[in-house]
Amino acid sequence: MKNLSEAKFATRSIHAGQEPAPGNHAIMTPIYQTSTFVQSSPGEYVEGYDYSRSANPTRTALEKNIASLEGGDRGISFSSGCAATSTVINTLRPGDRVVSADDVYGGTYRLFENVFRPMGIHFDFVDLCDLDALSAAINSDTKVIWIESPTNPLLKVIDIEAVSDIARKNGIKTVVDNTFASPYLQNPLSLGADLVLHSTTKYIGGQSDVIGGVVVTSDAEWADRIAYLQNAIGSVPAPMDCFLLLRSTKTLAVRMEKHCENALYLAEWLSGQPGIASVTYPGLKTHPQYDVACKQMKAGGGIITIEVDGGLEASRTFLESVSLFSLAESLGGVESLIEHPAIMTHA
Ligand code: PLP
């Protein structure tokens, strides 16, 4: 077992969860493309594996790897970011309430409002940059505060430490969807959050070729319940996808450095251009929560939100005119993408 106790992020991203393969010492974790595992005696599993919905060695390596990157005890992976979100909310009971950031990914809002609200779980959408509004929204049924930071698509930066502090004093758990920051730029567990979630489809995957999700937590009881539901509900990632994600985390640090450098350059350049009504980027001093971003993020990230003069028609023309950027949903890949949330991801 490698000793990574003193290792920094880029080193952990390459080594954590990964040992030379049993038998032949292949350096890359094999793709254990198998549905089941042979038992030595009924109910006796060799090395803990019986059936790939329950656990798979390629998935175990990925989960350990990302848990290490987020500084948590347990990683639990899913077939998509939405599956991760669903499984976390599935740990709640009818009558429970969630205070959610008012600006979240459209698919998260859809799950909250159209899937879980009819099942009796209530969601209060609040601007979590306003801590008084957060305190006012909490009541005795509130079980979870759901942060996304930076938010999708308005790039609000929520003070994770301050929100987690309020949550803890009220006996409430804090979840942070860290997709827009990546584990390289921000580690919510170290800021007091109880659970961190990623759409691994984005920065963690980084090559626009995988859909996936993961949660990381050091809350043993919650981790056990989520792992139970991971198996019971069964929205698990395939071994091949786990392999692709393991390949990707190895370069996360260098990719994020480049994303941030490029985005800051572009955000500064766009700020001076005619026809651009506003530029929002957490790494710009003009960002309303620039101080919070400096406190909790290593850099501003790879996403910029702009408003163009002339409304929807001008936006459409702008989006149809780009050449190097591709008009497509998603983010965090090596290509540059551009999209209009109200028409596309948040429609
Ligand atoms: N969370 C955020 C912030 C996202 O942007 C997305 C997708 O865009 C998701 C969660 C959902 O992830 P997936 O598309 O992998 O289900």
User: How confident is the prediction for the chain on average, in pLDDT?
Assistant: 97
Nearest-CA residue for atom 8 of ligand 1: 330
- Binned at pLDDT 50, 70 and 90, residue 5 comes out as confident
Pocket of ligand 1 contains residue 238 by CB under 6 Å = no
Tell me what pLDDT residue 347 has: 83
Secondary structure (H, E, C), 46-83: HHHCCECCCCCHHHHHHHHHHHHHHCCCEEEEECCHHH
The stretch 164-185 carries a mean pLDDT of 98
CA–centroid distance, residue 330 to ligand 1 (Å): 8
- Cβ(211) – ligand 1 distance below 6 Å: yes
Answer yes or no: is pLDDT of 1 > 80. no
**Is the minimum distance from the CB of 82 to ligand 1 under 6 angstroms?**
yes
pLDDT at 56: 98
Give pLDDT tens digits for 193-243. Answer: 999 999 999 999 999 999 999 999 999 999 999 999 999 999 999 999 999
- What is the pLDDT, as a whole number, of residue 2? 81
Ligand 1 in reach of 249 Cβ (< 6 A): no
Long-range pairs, 234-237, Cβ under 8 A, ≥24: 234/53, 235/78, 235/79, 235/80, 235/83, 235/86, 235/87, 236/52, 236/53, 236/56, 236/59, 236/77, 236/78, 236/79, 237/59, 237/62, 237/77, 237/78, 237/79, 237/212, 237/213
pTM of the model: 0.97
The predicted-structure confidence for 324-339, as pLDDT tens digits, reads as follows: 999 999 999 999 999 9
Per-residue pLDDT band for 34 (boundaries 50, 70, 90) equals very high
**Mean pLDDT, range 15-26, rounded to an integer:** 95
pLDDT of residue 234: 98
Which residues participate in catalysis according to the annotation?
Answer: 53, 105, 177, 202
Query: Residue of the nearest CA to atom 5 in ligand 1?
Result: 105
What is the reported pLDDT for 198?
A: 98
What's the pLDDT score for residue 115? Answer: 98
Tell me the CA–centroid distance for residue 179 and ligand 1, in Å. Answer: 7
Around 247, how many Cα atoms within 13 Å sit in the side-chain half-sphere? 13
Tell me which residue has tokens 């004093």: 169
Residue 206: the pLDDT is 98
Q: Residue 31 in 3-state DSSP? A: coil
Condensed to tens digits (0 to 9), the pLDDT of residues 259-302 reads: 999 999 999 999 989 999 999 999 999 999 999 999 999 999 99
